[in-house]
Amino acid sequence: MAEMDDDELLDALGVEVAPLKVSSRTPREERIIAGFEDILRFHQAHGRAPLHGEGRDIFERLYAVRLDQLRKLPEAQMLLAELDLPGLLSGTAAVQTDVGDLSEDALLAELGIGADTADQSDITVLRHVRSSVEKRAAEEIADHTPCADFDKFQPLFERVEQEIKAGLRKTLRFGRDASITTGNYFIVGGQLAYVAEMGEVLKTQSGHDDARLRVIYSNGTESNLLLRSLQRALYRDDTGRRLTDTDMGPLFGDAPEPDDIASGTIYVLRSLSSHPFVAEHRELIHKIGVTGGNVETRIAGADKDATYLLADVEVVATYKLHNLNRTKLENIFHRLFGAAQLDLTIEDRFGHPVKPREWFLVPLHVIDEAVQRIRDGSITEVVYDPKMARLVG
């Protein structure tokens, strides 16, 4: 049998030999692409281009400088066109240095990429290997992906935003309490974040607790970052905040606040005005107020006060309360029934137009239900639907 060379032997065995692909890009082009890929990963994680600013993460500031320079680099538009699906290179950020004045090595240094000064064939030279600091930063950022079941979480975010506006939740600077657990809400990176799930708690080498989290964001994305990573992100974020729980606190609490009254009354009034609209909807239009004194004294002279529609009123319901914070309680009613606030302008005794507040197109039984829900703390679970004229969960 005639001796076969290597190619003939592989052919006889049915093995196809694919030629090795040789990159047509120069080392400079490879480094530019690698640098731009870092920027793309940042965009994927945050939904925006990196920005300048002393208060921002050092890696974001580095990427912002790099992006500025790439936008001015003549060859970058063509070289990175297929990668630049978000259109990052089409921005117009200011550039601190004229690219034309830089040598190739200086330009690469500005880009944060750096030129390899060692022999490119030297096996001891590591190429495209991120430092441990960069790896930790990438882990802390974690990729945000679309939340497939966001419809389950969206009502939670809407309710929390209402609770913040109504004063039922406070936003506290992160740090005094650095704990994180399932059900917590935070503000990080300008987004409201909800800790939906927490995996098994493990100990780090330094002895701290850590766990993989499922964090849902109010923009419809989620991430699976580590607990310690979220803590570090909140520490570094000047606007990072923890949201308090929805205990009613000083609304009916024992600890007095400056606007607290020892005992008070929520009162509901009905107008006896002859104004055509008021007369037509008299059974639906109500004024809700809070006083620490006598209700009858409060409404004396109503027919001369534009606040009371320049007409006498009748008291249709009262609710006695103790250790009451007037401002917070009134804010709750305004937020709850704001969509049904009476839009009516009348003239006062001097002919000046006045738009009275605290009058709402809300049935009396709905107001009664709202007061009961304020007492038991479940008011945070409902909103008022003006079309259905009832509280809905």
Evaluate if residue 8 carries a pLDDT over 70.
Answer: no
**Can you tell me the mean pLDDT for 220-227?**
89
**What's the structural domain count of the chain?**
3
Residue spans of alpha helices (H) in the chain:
6-12, 27-46, 58-72, 76-79, 104-110, 132-141, 150-165, 227-236, 276-280, 295-298, 326-337, 364-376
In a domain, 17, yes or no: no
Residues 63 and 150 in one domain: no
Residues 185 and 216 in one domain: yes
In whole angstroms, what is the distance from residue 155 CA to residue 22 CA?
54
Confidence of residue 292 (pLDDT cuts 50, 70, 90): confident
Sign of the CA dihedral running 324, 326, 330, 332: negative
Give the model's pLDDT for residue 3: 59
Evaluate if residue 93 carries a pLDDT over 80.
Answer: no
Evaluate if residue 114 carries a pLDDT over 50.
Answer: no
Give the model's pLDDT for residue 97: 39
- pLDDT top residue among 213 and 257: 213
Give the model's pLDDT for residue 194: 94
Confidence of residue 364 (pLDDT cuts 50, 70, 90): very high
In whole angstroms, what is the distance from residue 298 CA to residue 324 CA?
18
pLDDT digits (tens, 9 = 90+) for 232-267: 888 888 888 888 876 444 444 444 444 555 567 888
Give the DSSP letter string of 172-197: EETTSS----TT-EEEETTEEEEEEE
Q: Which of 221, 246, 271 is at the close of a domain?
A: 246
Give the model's pLDDT for residue 286: 92
In whole angstroms, what is the distance from residue 114 CA to residue 105 CA?
7
Give the model's pLDDT for residue 13: 57
Residues 295 and 377 in one domain: yes
Helix count (H) and strand count (E) of the chain?
12, 17
Evaluate if residue 341 carries a pLDDT over 90.
Answer: no
Q: Which of 193, 213, 246 is at the close of a domain?
A: 246
Give the model's pLDDT for residue 61: 80
In a domain, 6, yes or no: no
Give the model's pLDDT for residue 112: 46
Q: What percent of the chain has pLDDT over 90?
A: 10
Q: Which of 157, 330, 325, 162 is nearest to 248 (CA)?
A: 325
Whose tokens are 């039984």? That residue is 365
Residues 294 and 233 in one domain: no
Give the model's pLDDT for residue 240: 85
Residues 84 and 171 in one domain: no
- pLDDT top residue among 246 and 182: 182
- pLDDT top residue among 179 and 285: 285
Which of 80-84, 97-101, 199-203 comes out lowest in average pLDDT? 97-101
In a domain, 162, yes or no: yes
pLDDT digits (tens, 9 = 90+) for 22-69: 456 787 788 788 888 888 888 888 888 888 887 777 778 878 888 888
Residues 205 and 332 in one domain: no
In a domain, 273, yes or no: yes
Residues 305 and 194 in one domain: no
Residue 362 burial (CB < 10 Å; 0-12/13-18/19+)? Answer: buried
Residues 134 and 166 in one domain: no
**Can you tell me the mean pLDDT for 332-353?**
81
Give the model's pLDDT for residue 23: 52
What does R_g of the chain's alpha carbons equal in angstroms? Answer: 32
Confidence of residue 285 (pLDDT cuts 50, 70, 90): very high
Which of 6-20, 202-216, 303-317 comes out lowest in average pLDDT? 6-20
**Can you tell me the mean pLDDT for 120-146?**
48
Residues 106 and 147 in one domain: no
In a domain, 10, yes or no: no
Q: Quote the mean pLDDT of the chain.
A: 75
Q: Which of 139, 166, 185 is at the close of a domain?
A: 139
Highest mean pLDDT among 116-120, 134-138, 158-162, 204-208: 158-162
Residues 214 and 182 in one domain: yes
Residue 292, domain extent: 255-392
In a domain, 18, yes or no: no
Evaluate if residue 180 carries a pLDDT over 60.
Answer: yes
Structural contact between residues 320 and 295, judged by C-beta atoms closer than 8 angstroms: no
In a domain, 194, yes or no: yes
In a domain, 15, yes or no: no
In whole angstroms, what is the distance from residue 307 CA to residue 310 CA?
7
Structural contact between residues 71 and 50, judged by C-beta atoms closer than 8 angstroms: no
Residues 267 and 327 in one domain: yes
**Can you tell me the mean pLDDT for 211-222?**
91
Evaluate if residue 289 carries a pLDDT over 80.
Answer: yes
In whole angstroms, what is the distance from residue 254 CA to residue 377 CA?
15
Token pair of 150 as six digits: 């966001």
H/E stretch holding 271 reads strand 260-271
In whole angstroms, what is the distance from residue 180 CA to residue 192 CA?
15
**Can you tell me the mean pLDDT for 293-314?**
86
Residues 57 and 168 in one domain: no
Give the model's pLDDT for residue 126: 39
